[in-house]
């Protein structure tokens, strides 16, 4: 089943579905099944512009409001992830240590991230590998792992 989005941005590595509420992004997810939907208002046009700049290596920090959702724990972890700067990575273990928790629940919080790119879970990696992405394990080597590898390569300095 394909989810409905207000706008679908076609990036070089796949379609990104976007939903908002009161000019705040509450969902931004990669989904290869989506077809382009043009922005319908000024806010979504700005989101589109920033995504275009990001994929052309001309923007490293998004300047659009977004809302982190989920459980209190997930929101805490995702706020920590949102602080990881462009071109950098941090391990699940390092985030766990900062938050006095374990790497696995950190990974689960990233898996449930509703606003990929804005909260850059692709920058969270394993100690010995790049880790999974959006619920896909590194061993699966599917669409989401392709996206994670592509985003890390794009941001490489």
Strand-pair category, 7-11 with 14-20: antiparallel
Angle between helix 103-111 and helix 72-81 axes, rounded to 10 deg: 90
Query: What residues are labeled active site?
Result: 121
d(CA 49, CA 130): 29
Rounded Cα–Cα distance for residues 130 and 128 (Å): 7
Residue 8 to residue 15: CA distance in whole angstroms: 6
């Amino acid at each position: 089943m394909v989810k409905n989005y207000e706008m679908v941005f076609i990036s070089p590595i796949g379609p990104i579905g976007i939903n908002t509420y009161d000019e705040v992004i509450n969902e931004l997810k990669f989904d290869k099944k989506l077809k382009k939907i043009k922005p319908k208002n000024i806010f979504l046009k700005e989101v589109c512009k920033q995504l275009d700049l990001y994929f052309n290596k001309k923007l490293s920090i998004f300047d659009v409001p977004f809302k982190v959702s989920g459980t209190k724990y997930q929101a805490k972890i995702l706020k920590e992830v949102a602080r990881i700067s462009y071109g950098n990575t941090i391990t699940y273990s390092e985030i766990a240590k900062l938050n006095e928790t374990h790497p696995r629940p950190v990974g689960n919080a990233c898996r449930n991230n509703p606003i990929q790119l804005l909260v850059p879970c692709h920058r969270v990696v394993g100690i010995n590998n790049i880790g999974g992405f959006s619920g896909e394990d590194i061993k699966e080597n599917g669409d989401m792992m392709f996206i994670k590898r592509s985003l890390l390569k794009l941001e490489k300095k």
